[in-house]
Amino acid sequence: MLSYRHAFHAGNHADVLKHWMYSLVLDYFNQKDKPYWVIDTHAGAGLYSLDSTVANKTAEYVDGIQRLQKTQAPDAFAGYLQAVAAAGNGQPNLYPGSPCIASYFLNAADKLRLFELHPADATLLEQHFLPQKRQVSIQQKDGFEGIKACLPPPAKRGIVLIDPPYEVKDDYARVVDCIKDSLKRFATGTYLIWYPRLQRPEPQQMIDKLRSLNTDYLHVTLDVQQPSADGFGMHGSGMWIINPPWTLRQTIEPQLAWLASTLAQDATAHAACEGDQR
């Protein structure tokens, strides 16, 4: 399906959770003076205008990134907020998608591999990263398939972000299949999987299957409101990270209560963290 456009949701509470954790992982990889690859299976358009008609159809960013920007955020959010500010290049109300977040942290020897199936978004990616075409590769292709040719990366260090729109139920199963295949090719990679928290069985079924893979993992959830009475809509989101940096939990866990309070849309908002790191 090609109907999903992330511009409607750019900068919302789910982006904040995803991109904050992504930034922490990228920053950790930079602590070693060794090159690495970043692979993004569902890259989107890369950069979004929060002044656009599309973004303001739902204006989800108002209860997401704008709340963080109006607070005195803890130091743990500094890198993420700096990446957001840098993406605007002096222009207000621009929000970076995951490709631009990654680009902010990359060093000259690192590589970024982006997959985006939607033709309009793939074109926007190409235009945005044209000056970096030696470092950034963009393919208009199904990322679940495209990732196979990237693993293992020549650098033997890598971060993989998997965040499909989950518009179709098959995406949940495809995530699990993708991770199983990817771990066979590149067992030591760090994999970040974003997913929506919904009142339907597929998200929990996916998490149960990921847990059964018996890998080191960190699982973080953020619910900003109670599930709706009619059973529809996303009340929160989660991140499942395989082979997380050993410092990640101790960085994230103390900030979760503050994050849930800051992004709360009702009194039930809460965040949680659990994991198995050996």
Catalogue the active-site residues.
Answer: 163
CA distance readout (Å), 198 to 120, 124, 152, 221:
28, 30, 33, 12
Query: Phi/psi zone of residue 25: left (φ > 0), alpha (ψ -120 to 50 degrees), beta?
Result: alpha
Q: Nearest 5°: CA angle at 262, between 244 and 191?
A: 15
SS3 assignment, position 218:
strand
DSSP code for 228: P
Spatial distance between the Cα atoms of 139 and 116, rounded to a whole number of angstroms:
6
Query: Which residues touch 247 (CB under 8 Å, ≥6 apart)?
Result: 28
Q: Report H helices in 97-169.
A: 98-105, 119-128, 143-146
